[in-house]
Structure 1
Amino acid sequence: MYAIVDIETTGGKYNEEGITEIAIYKFDGHKVVDQFISLVNPEKPIQPFVVNLTGINSKMLRDAPKFYEVAKRIVEITEDCILVAHNASFDSRILQMEYKRLGFEYKRKSLCTVELSKKLIPEMESYKLGKLVRALGIPMSDRHRASGDALATVKLFQLLLDKDSEKTIIQQAVKTDIRKKVATRLLDIIESVPSDTGVYYMHNADGDIIYIGKSKNIKKRVNQHFTGTNNKSKKIQKQVVAVTFERTGSELVALLKESEEIKLKKPLYNRAQRKTIFQFAMASYTDENGYIGLRIEKADGRKKHITTFTNMAQAKHVMFKLTEDFKLCQKVNELYTSKSHCFQYTIKECDGACIKLEDVASYNKRVQEAIEKYSYSNKNMLIVDKGRHHDERSAILIENGQYKGFGFYTLNYQVTNIEVLKSIITPMQDNRDVQHIIQSHLRRKNRFKIIPLQ
């Protein structure tokens, strides 16, 4: 759990400042679950430049509560939380100073979104909050007021969580959360996860990830792990103390994220998923008459295939459908063995490529159209799918036929401006497994929106 904080002060000498406004959003990594926003009477004058910057003046604060009046609420909302702020050392210092004046020691672990941004988004021109969120296409209102700045930091922190492929932020949070709850049993864990589409991470008592999975219903899938009777399930049940998760909304994004992170983290109980997930592929060849044929063959990492398949049944289903949709020849595509014409020619669904009757150029044009549909080789495009909530969408970036990564957006501006788009995309590795995942989803899902890119 995180407490995302922004504090406005009077300015003045170091360690003599007073708080004029505070905003705290309690954030569970997915949504805001509580909030506290208040002006504070600092009982001292505000520096003129601060008045100009924030718009907060002494008259506004005359009837505001003094710090000791809000101190209990701040302790409660930040208890058992990691403090997150843009320049966290400042906000932590100010809070510790105010509580010290009251004779109370205030200690919280903290994360700084300036430092995290420098690590996870290293190419930014500026890491000042206003310039950074503007460059990332994050909407912001009430700049230099605690609520506006804290809310922008929430959205920035959500983006940083998305980009944290090493999972260092989450693992630190899990170690903080485990505390006295190591003995919490599996039913409590199941209650803590949602029935949403996404990726889930099972942690041991050290916070280490021991298993990564994806599901269209995380709660249901975790429940299956905890009620399973096979050896792997029993070992997981003994070791797991916490399950964290990331909603994706999109099943395709969940599959891509799961594939990437299993390869990256190599969890103890994900050995099976580390193997290549496809066995067969579609390849092209040219026969002795000049017709381009398509065939199924064993997948070979040294060759560039049109698309790949998990098993032979799936491969044959796609090949028959493709041959029918584009009015190709079953014999040329090695789906029908005959010394004369194919059966489809008999029922007038083949124009006679099997017996050299059809014009080669005309036939090959349709084959190229089929290849174009079943492959994204050399294409530049965005695959747009559902997001984590109703007003959000996910975007998967393909450049020159290579998978670059994915991100989430709420405004069309974020995907039409290429610089902003690249800043919100979490970079991912392109490999044969993710190519297979994307191609197989594009084959069987019609709900994706494809946006061509220049």
Structure 2
Amino acid sequence: MHQQLFAIIDVETTGGGIAGNRITEICIALMRGNKVVDKYSTLINPEREIPQYITALTGIDNRMVENAPRFFEVAGKIDEFTRNAIFVAHNVSFDYNVIRGEFKKIGQGYTRKKLCTVRLSRKLIPGLLSYSLGRLCDTINIPHVDRHRAEGDVDATAILFQRLLSLDESFETFNSFLNPRSKQATLPPHLPSEQLEDLPEEAGIYLFKNQKHKVIYAGKAKNIKKRVLSHFYDKKTKEYHLGQETHFIDYEITGNELLALLVESEHIRKYYPKYNRAQKRPVNAYQIISYANQRGVIQLALAKTKVLHDSVGTFYNKTEAIEKLEEICETFKLCPRFCSLQSNVEQCSHYRIKNCEGICDGSESVEVYNQKVNNAIAFLKENKPNFAIQGKGRKSDEIGFALVIEGQYKGFGFFDRSEAISTVEDYEPFIKLQTASYHTHAIIRGFLKKNGERNVVRFESTLKESSDLPYQETDLLGPLLGGNW
């Protein structure tokens, strides 16, 4: 290690994410052992405009780089200068990936072993409030002039690296970070490795949090530890930025994948995380509603809404909702006109439903017709399924479950295998109430489609017509009636 060559590197860029980042300045200090033996520094024409906020930060403007060499003109020098050296930087993933991106643009590869002085500092100088280069230098008395300029940052990083070398005389920490099997160099700079080491290898959900403990990403996994690490090995710009902002990771073991999906959906709905794209946008629901017209006839109609109220039935697919309207219209001999299946007609003339008994032309009494409508409404409400889906719990002697009452997802929970659970009421003490949504509906429906009735426990009775479970403000889950989930 005493004769090992290190390339201490810093780049200034135009900003815009890894994919769009162009280098405006680079500095490389070559260190053999713990002594700087050579240095290379140059401005670079990024071949694009430098944003004003970048100029304000670095002092580098468009005029300064106008006559500077373009990257392809210095690529050979950078490649040769760093050959046989270990690439060292403060937050190495950033500088390394930007440089690799520049080489890729000119059709060349660039591969070096890497060391991150942020992660090395966390390991060898633990307990500091901040590991940013400026704060770190202030804390341990390293001179740091020309901040946010490549040479100034390289000079400070070189001194920091010398300090770190002196704190690891046996090179045990350095070697562990350089081990080909080690992923240390690719891990987020602000995330203590202990948090990753403590992650369980079980099914559940995980939450990435920023410096202020705000949730910025929620995910689910069959193996939490494996899935979390996979984010940091991904080279996509989104995953890189997610890693840069992650300071803390929380998790919750669910025991099985179904509950992980449901809990993940709840966290996305609750926290609206910055890096979750799926499930964030509210989905329109289609409700079958009932109301009395001026004649006193009870009509059924389809309403599209995001804010749901009590209804005869709620669906997340318009075709499914229309089919259900047509089904009850035909089954209970209702009028297509008064079921909103036809409009702008005095008398119904539906192409398929022909068994209207005359409410539209006055040959059927309002009282008789309304009784049929009430029977149809009662049928819809009574035929909403009640069931629990059971699966593995968080430990071997535990069962996890998701509960659906009258077609609505109510929540999930866990109970000991020794518990006598035989009726729907028996689940009540163990349930953690959740908000039903289009996404929980889709998750449960997808599970049933894939797994069938396996592990499904169905019930005929409800919890005293669900009155034992507190009212949920967004009562969303649509009935796939007659158990047709």
Report the TM-score when normalising by structure 1.
0.41
Report the TM-score when normalising by structure 2.
0.39
